[in-house]
Amino acid sequence: MEIPKPSDQAKALFRDLIPDVPGVAVKPMFGNLGAYINGNMFAGLFGEDLGVKLIEKSSRDELTAIDGTGPFGPAERPMGGYTSLPSTWASMPTMASSWVQRAMLEVGALPPKKARVKK
């Protein structure tokens, strides 16, 4: 499985979308970037694609009704619960920002992820 790498521009745009609030961190993820709140990922890059995790069915239905959305991650094994924004997300920062914010709020309501114990 080939994992595409995002451009420097996509990484910079992604970082600009992520709110600077307590509990939120941007971390490398398989050569891409992921945004986490309390240890739970809520948005990420897969190559040039931006994906968000939405918990509420109504939110997922609203996003998937937009032309150009689809599965997020490798075609052979998309990430469950995540939806890619249209490929034009970089030229629509207001739209992208609203979905990232919504994902952060929904995933932020989940219990914090427990840190793994290193062996």
Per-residue confidence band for 104, with pLDDT thresholds at 50, 70 and 90: very high
Q: Give the domain range for residue 21.
A: 8-108
Per-residue confidence band for 30, with pLDDT thresholds at 50, 70 and 90: confident
pTM: 0.92
Per-residue confidence band for 3, with pLDDT thresholds at 50, 70 and 90: confident
Number of domains in the chain: 1
Q: Is residue 1 part of a domain?
A: no
Specify the DSSP class assigned to residue 91. Answer: G
User: What mean pLDDT is predicted for residues 48-72?
Assistant: 97
Which SS3 state, helix, strand or coil, does residue 60 take? helix
Per-residue confidence band for 16, with pLDDT thresholds at 50, 70 and 90: very high
- The per-residue pLDDT for 70 is 95
Q: Is residue 98 part of a domain?
A: yes
Q: Is residue 2 part of a domain?
A: no
Q: Is residue 116 part of a domain?
A: no
User: What mean pLDDT is predicted for residues 87-111?
Assistant: 96
Per-residue confidence band for 47, with pLDDT thresholds at 50, 70 and 90: very high
Q: At what angle do helices 93-108 and 57-64 cross, to 10 degrees?
A: 160
- The per-residue pLDDT for 116 is 79
Q: Is residue 50 part of a domain?
A: yes
What CATH number is given to the structural domain containing 15? 3.90.1150.30
User: What mean pLDDT is predicted for residues 92-104?
Assistant: 97
Q: Is residue 84 part of a domain?
A: yes
In degrees, rounded to 5, the angle at the alpha carbon of residue 33 between the alpha carbons of residues 29 and 37 is 90
